[in-house]
Amino acid sequence: MNKLFPLLLLPLCGLALAEDNDIAMMPDGSRDMYVGMALTSRSAAEAGEPHRLSLRPLLQVEWSNGIFASANGVVGMHLSNGGPVAYGPLLAASNSRDPSESRRLRGSHAIDGSVDAGGYFDYYLGYNTRLGSSIMYDRSARGWRGEFRVQKSWNDLAPHHTLSVSAGVSLAGDAVMRERYEVSRAAGGARDYTPSGGLASAGVGVHWNYALSSKWLLSSSASATRLGGEAAASPVVERRNFFTISSGLAYRF
């Protein structure tokens, strides 16, 4: 009964604010919204991303019609109406990247930021455990990427605290892998490199929410991600493993 928010809103490097959300179980015309700021620290940037410590907005909104949105650029809709299965369409914004941004990206493809479309499908194995999946069509790469994840939550360890642990893999087709990790010597890269599709990354994460009151929420997470072999072998990749910790304060409107 106590269901969790769709997995896409709980990326390994991100924060999920609502503790036990599922389909829009709220009065018609109402919404549930968290707004705040979080400080995020990454041990290594992915493929040329320069920032290590960043302040970023926290946002998670859900409306009674089933539509939800979050600050990490995901908009979706719950179509299921209870039961062990949750599914619906998703739109997700992907980041742009330009080879001129850093030396390491020389010879890689320019990536246009795009709004990608797909869907999610979650299956609940009991009260607080779920298997989650999503698949997205990446419009700039013209290819598919997807995720599988298992997540378990505990909201009974201490009053007003929720702890969840997740592990997952991220998969990408040839086109998506090439857009991110292909390097051409002719375009100024260190060497020619063409990855093929497969495991893009695997990771584990811990997420802790502490509700200070019914309005204020302290949300923190830590995660570790390891890039798949095809991705890690790319000249644009500096480190194969990276760690992220994040903590923020949000107000529930």
Partner 1 sequence: MLRAAFLLSLALLPACASAQEETDWIAYRDAYRQMIWFEKYGKPKQFLQNHFRLRPRDKSVSMDGLRLALNSKTAQVSLALDALGRAVLPFSKAAYDDNAELVINRKAGQFKAGPWVSIVTRADGVYAAADLRAACEQLLAYLRHGGEAGGKRCVGVQFTYSKNDAAQLQFHAAGGAVIALAAKEGPAFEGDVVQGFRVFAYRFAALPEAGQVVTSSTPLAIAALLE
Q: Does 26 bind partner 1 (CB under 8 A)?
A: yes
Q: Does 229 bind partner 1 (CB under 8 A)?
A: no
Contact 248, 39 (CB under 8 A): yes
Q: Does 32 bind partner 1 (CB under 8 A)?
A: yes
Contact 121, 148 (CB under 8 A): no
Contact 89, 118 (CB under 8 A): yes
Quick count: other Cβ atoms within 10 Å of Cβ 213? Answer: 9
**Judged by CB, which is closer to partner 1: 5, or 181?**
5
Q: Does 63 bind partner 1 (CB under 8 A)?
A: no
Number of residues counted as binding partner 1 (CB under 8 A): 30
Q: Does 65 bind partner 1 (CB under 8 A)?
A: no
CA 213/CA 186 separation, integer angstroms:
58
Q: Which positions from 158 through 197 interact with partner 1, judged by CB under 8 A?
A: 158-160
Q: Does 43 bind partner 1 (CB under 8 A)?
A: no
Following DSSP, what letter does each residue of 159-208 receive, concatenated?
A: TTEEEEEEEEEEEE-HHHHHHHH-B-TTTT-SS-B---SEEEEEEEEEEE
Q: Does 240 bind partner 1 (CB under 8 A)?
A: no
Residue 91 CB, shortest distance to partner 1, in Å, is: 24
Q: Which positions from 82 through 141 interact with partner 1, judged by CB under 8 A?
A: 82-84, 124-127
Number of H helices, E strands in the chain: 2, 12
Quote the distance between the C-alpha of residue 246 and its chain's center.
13
Binding string, 200-219, against partner 1, x = CB under 8 A? Answer: -----------x-xxx----
Contact 50, 56 (CB under 8 A): no
Phi, psi of 99 (to 5 degrees): -60, -20
**Judged by CB, which is closer to partner 1: 186, or 213?**
213
List the one residue from 57, 156, 194, 239 that touches partner 1 (CB under 8 A): 156
**Judged by CB, which is closer to partner 1: 66, or 198?**
66
Contact 8, 78 (CB under 8 A): no
Q: Which of 86, 61, 63 is nearest to 74 (CA)?
A: 61
Place of tokens 């991100």: 14
Residue 26 CB, shortest distance to partner 1, in Å, is: 6
**Judged by CB, which is closer to partner 1: 30, or 54?**
30
Residue 67 CB, shortest distance to partner 1, in Å, is: 16
Q: Does 25 bind partner 1 (CB under 8 A)?
A: yes
Q: Which of 77, 75, 74 is nearest to 65 (CA)?
A: 77
List the one residue from 29, 53, 186, 191 that touches partner 1 (CB under 8 A): 29
- Tell me which residues touch partner 1 (CB under 8 A): 1-2, 19-21, 25-30, 32, 81-84, 124-127, 156, 158-160, 211, 213-215, 252-253
